[in-house]
Structure 1
Amino acid sequence: MPSFAYTAYTQEGDKVSGSVTAVNEREALSVLTGKSLYPLEVAPQEKRVLWRGRRIKGQTMAVFYGQLAGLLRSGVPLLRSLSVLREQAADERLKMILAEIHQQVEDGASLAEAMARFPKAFTEMSINMVRAGGEGGFLEEALERVAAFTEQQEDLKARTAGAMAYPAFLAVAGTVIVTVLIVFFVPKFEELFAQLRERGELPALTIGLLGFSRFLQSWGLVMLLVGLVVGVLAMAQMRSDRGRYLVDFWKLKLPLLGAVFRNLAVARFCRVLGTLLRNGVPILRSLEISREATGNRILSEAIETASENVTAGESLATPLKASGHFPPTVIEMIVVAEESNTLEKVLVETADQLERQTARRLDLAVRLLEPILLLVLAGCVLLVVIALLVPVIKMSSAI
């Protein structure tokens, strides 16, 4: 009798893994249900995860969800819909995945079970929403909501990246321009200022600039290599648990952008939790998934505490407020929503408001960053010009 590996949630909301022996997947699911477990993933142990490649683009997945929902709503059977989408898929990875999903569904697995074997293609949120939709008889609606959510998140990421592109370009261009000036242009004045240096009449600013230029000429490549090594080591450290924790902590403390990072993370939490609850996913499982969706370990800890509160039958808002990382308006809206039993609706509305506020705040931050960077660049160039011009004026007045 084959063994099936599984990942499931307990009634308390804890995530557990293990294996069971059963004739087929359906029997394995029945065994887990009998143990009061909520299966997230069940598969033969030797082929539990079938895809470990790079994640498929979110926009591609949004189109897939929307097209699948449209076909099912038009009355096309699931297997036929998967075949049609597989044939139409432009992404070869998605085409391969859909072929595997088609085979699994044909063998008796549900759509959510088949999707769960491809964690790099389908998020936990989408899998759980599809599972809830399949079990509740509203699969088309669940797929449409997943499509809308995925597209909205991709649009938000694109707007954020687009807003930061110009300031990043200014920072890089400014650094290159100033470095080229100091390394290649300033040394040409060394001989010209030799007599002033001998007489001790060379300004301190000019002496410092010439010294810095010589230093960069002699040690510039070494500094670049050291910087690369430090960068690689820092990236490796950032991948550790402690490194990620520190990065997430300081992201929230950044001037101008700290509030943007916080609001984006809180908006993701509210939208994922609200969307899952709206689709009938139990609140403990929804909290577990939305906790990971924040992308910030500081906020994730606060949500984990909130999950423990909910397990004990207490309020969701209290530990979130105690963490100090959630905006007061969000806390108040959650309190009112819990009292009026409209949590899923209010959470989605809160996410909409936060994203609009974040867009305005990000726009303001970018508008402030651009002149600041331009002023810094202009200031550096002006210092170089002054450092070179003052000795020239002294020399010309002495003639």
Structure 2
Amino acid sequence: MAREAWKVQLDLPRKATFYRALSLMFNSGLQLMNALEALADTADEEFSLVILELCTKLEQGQTLHHAMAQYPRAFAKFDVSLVEIGFETGSITRVLERLAEISEKNNETQQKVRSALIYPIFLMVACILMALVVPPLLFRGLFDFLISLDVGLPFITRLVAGFSHSLSNPAVSGSLCVAAILVTILVQQLTTNPDSRVIVFEVIHKAPAFGEVWEGLAVGRFSFGLALMMETGFPLHQALPLALRSTDDPYFESKTSSAVQAVIEGKYLSDSLKETGAFPDIVIQAIRVGEESGDTVKMIRHAATLIEGDLERKVDACVAMLEPLSLLIMGVLVGTTAVAALLPLAKIVQGL
């Protein structure tokens, strides 16, 4: 059971539900073990394995945060650190509420991005499938007929006909399937290896339009995470690296890690973040105002709200770019196939 539980990876909605329910049970006076057992009874089978394993660890004398740390796929280090400080300061119910809040906020942001991008991505996938499926299925007979007429075919017709025949070949189709499987395996390896993940995320960050969206996600998560940790009593030099890690973006984390050392050396947070070049001016200015007014946490939260609005604008701009691009690609593919089929037919008709 322990090994199976270790493999479980929790999504944000389930984490939010878990933290909020546990907070409510603590508020009602329920003991930790009883609360976890009650949650295990109501959770789905996969999550129930994790909760029961937590109960086992607690029975062995471990603390909750030590038990959670043994399941890194289910509970991030950010969550574990907050739970630890929550028990130490006696504010565990408040910490759990904040963890539920940030999980819900991150999930809401992800859903907004996904729902906005799903249509243009669908169009792009449809274009690719059409390019692969339409010529061999719908036009193979027509192209065979044109070739059998033994007339001089235009270059575009010969190109599309050759592509159609290639895809109709079982060896080529099989090779494409094998290549797709190998690419899938390669992507999984790249996204699980720590060193290669930095490279993958760097490529994403530098992608036109979409890179700005991804960077906005990272900055927003960082801002909410930092505000939450400082609210629960973490000193800035400890909260900063954990907030960076909460972004789950290794490239962003490596790019901004110098800010941690700068804060330790006594520099202002706003100046330290500005030197990394990874944060927009709106965040830097909000934090600087907070440092001057003595209410840094409030201004960091305000900056996170501003970033959320800016992220929506960037998503809209990305969609506005992808939709016409997808339609253009689809139009080019349809037009190319139609021209390849009609040009030789027009030539034959003219020769009659």
TM-score, structure 1 length as denominator? 0.78
Q: Which residue of 2 aligns with 1:214?
A: 165
For residue 391 of structure 1, what is the amino acid of its counterpart? Answer: P
Contact 2:76–2:246 (CA<8 Å) still a contact in 1?
Answer: no
Greater helix share, structure number = 2
Q: How does 1:130-145 map to 2 (within 5 A)?
A: 130-145=83-98
Q: 1:370-395, CA deviations, whole angstroms, 9 ceiling, x for partnerless residues?
A: 23212211221111111211221222
Unpaired runs of at least 5, structure 2: none
- Compare relative contact order (CA 8 Å, sep 6+) and give the higher one, 1 or 2: 2
The equivalent of 2:284 in structure 1 is 331
Cα-to-partner distance string for 1:2-50 (whole Å, 9 max, x where unaligned): xxxxxxxxxxxxxxxxxxxxxxxxxxxxxxxxxxxxxxxxxxxxxx999
Q: Which has the larger radius of gyration?
A: 1
Match of 1:162 among 105, 112, 115: 115
2:340 aligns with 387
Q: Is the 8 A contact 1:51 1:120 kept in 2?
A: no
Alpha-carbon deviation of 1:280? 0.6
* Paired letter, 1:135: E
Q: Cα distance 1:50–1:290, how it changes in 2: closer, same or farther (>3 A)?
A: farther
Q: How far did residue 351 of structure 1 move?
A: 1.5
Q: Does 1:69 align with 2:69?
A: no
* CA–CA distance in structure 1, aligned partners of residues 11 and 164 of structure 2: 45
Pick from 213, 238, 241: which aligns with 1:285?
238
The CA deviation string for residues 77-130 of structure 1, in whole angstroms up to 9 with x for no partner, is 44443343333x232344344344445556655443443343333222222222
Cα distance in 1 between the residues matched to 2:50 and 2:181: 38
In the aligned structure 2, how far is the partner of 1:271 from the partner of 1:150? 10
Distance 1:163 1:332 in 2: 29
Corresponding position of 2:182 = 229
| Alpha-carbon contact 2:8-2:46 (below 8 Å) kept | no
**Cα shift at 1:134:** 2.0
Q: Whose strand fraction is larger, Structure 1's or Structure 2's?
A: 1
CA distance in 1 between partners of 2:40 and 2:173 (Å): 53
Show CA shifts across 1:180-232 (max 9, x none): 2222333323354347754x4x3222222223323333434334433443453
2:127·2:333 contact (CA, 8 Å) conserved in 1? no
Q: What's the CA shift for 1:261? A: 0.4
The 5 Å alignment of 1:41-56 reads 51-56=5-10
2:265 match: 312
Distance 2:147 2:47 in 1: 68
1:250 paired with 2:203, answer: yes
Cα deviation, residue 173, structure 1? 2.2
Q: Distance in 2 between matches of 1:112 and 1:156?
A: 27
Question: Which secondary structure state, in structure 1, belongs to the residue aligned with residue 268 of structure 2?
Answer: coil
Tell me if structure 2 keeps the 8 A contact 1:205–1:387.
yes
Report how many aligned residue pairs link the two structures. 349
Counterpart residue number, 1:173: 126
* 8 Å contact kept, 1:50–1:117: no
Using the alignment, how far apart are the partners of 2:111 and 2:299 within structure 1? 25
Q: 2:302 aligns with which of 349, 358, 374?
A: 349
**Partner of 1:397 in structure 2?**
350
Structure 1 residues 225 and 112 mapped into 2: Cα distance closer, same or farther (>3 Å)?
A: closer
For residue 144 of structure 1, report the CA deviation from its aligned partner: 1.0
What is the one-letter code of the residue matched to 2:205?
L
* 1:234 to partner: Cα distance: 4.9
2:12 pairs, out of 33, 49, 58, with: 58
Q: In the superposition, relative to structure 1, how do residues 80 and 188 fare at CA in structure 2: closer, same or farther (>3 Å)?
A: closer
Q: Is the 8 A contact 1:269 1:293 kept in 2?
A: yes
In the TM superposition, residue 238 of structure 1 has moved relative to its aligned partner by 4.8
- Over 6 Å off, 4+ runs: none
Residue equivalent to 1:147: 100
Q: What residue identity is the alignment partner of 1:137?
A: G
Partners of 1:333 and 1:185 in 2: CA distance: 59
Change (3 A) 1:233 1:302: closer
- Say whether the 8 Å CA contact 2:205–2:211 is kept in structure 1: yes
